Amino acid sequence: MDSSYYVLIGVGVMAILFASALFIIPIQLKKKRMNAITSLLTDVLPNQTIHPSNVKYYDFFTDYQSKRYMFKILPFDLKHELIITNKYFWCINGDLRGWRRSTVPDLCPWVPEFVDYIPQNGMKTIKIALIYPDCYNVTRYLNESDVELVKPKDLVYGVHFVKALDLKQFFQKPE
């Protein structure tokens, strides 16, 4: 056997390791993020059971003070902004200075299903879009030219937009 055979085997093994890393690393990061979020929810709501969702459009739920709280996790960076253009279009703006209305939007997934979901358990439902860990701003378009900053207690199309850092404060203040 000549040396080219060993080089090909080495390149093949490296390609397999690289390809598997491309799949394993994102899965591990998502698992680590979900564990951190579960820990956060458990810290904020002690003595409550945090249930993972079995559907794609929200991630966790819990029953607290005779209400069902549904959490949709929105992974964000501090340098990004969430722009709510309408009921179903929540855009992730990664370029704060260069964003234009003509920019191709990076939309949050499963928003229409989350906004329109009505649980059949008969309990009052509070929907929370949990921005994890934080973002620059949460902005909502009121019309073609007017915008407002969204606060955690604001109900926007039936959803509260809460940064992970504000979650404890959200549950401490009465509604």
The set of residues, in sequence order, having a beta carbon less than 8 Å from that of 113 and lying 6+ positions away, is 55, 56, 57
Q: What is the pLDDT of residue 132?
A: 92
110-131 exposure pattern, b = at least 16 Cβ within 10 A, e = fewer? ebeebbebeeeeeeeebbbbbb
Neighbours of 37 (CB within 10 A): 21
Q: What is the pLDDT of residue 151?
A: 93
Number of C-alpha atoms within 13 angstroms, CB side, residue 8?
A: 5
Q: What is the pLDDT of residue 1?
A: 62
Take residue 99 and report the two structure tokens written for it.
């964003």
Segment 72-96, tens digit of pLDDT: 999 998 899 999 989 999 999 888 7
Segment 39-76, tens digit of pLDDT: 999 999 888 889 988 888 899 999 888 899 999 999 99
Range 91-104 average pLDDT: 80
CA separation for the pair 96, 15 (Å, rounded): 37
Q: What is the pLDDT of residue 120?
A: 81
pLDDT at 175 over 60: no
Q: What is the pLDDT of residue 173?
A: 60
pLDDT at 3 over 90: no
The torsion angle over the Cα atoms of residues 55, 41, 117 and 109, rounded to 10 degrees, is: -60
Range 147-171 average pLDDT: 93
Query: In percent, how much of the chain has pLDDT > 70?
Result: 97
> Strands 147-149, 137-141: parallel, antiparallel or unpaired by DSSP?
antiparallel
pTM of the model: 0.82
Instruction: Read off φ and ψ for residue 121, nearest 5 degrees.
Output: -85, -10
Whether 70 and 117 have beta carbons less than 8 Å apart is answered as yes
The DSSP code sequence of 109-137 is TTHHHHHH---TT-SEEEEEEEEES--SE
> Strands 159-163, 81-84: parallel, antiparallel or unpaired by DSSP?
unpaired
Q: What is the pLDDT of residue 118?
A: 86
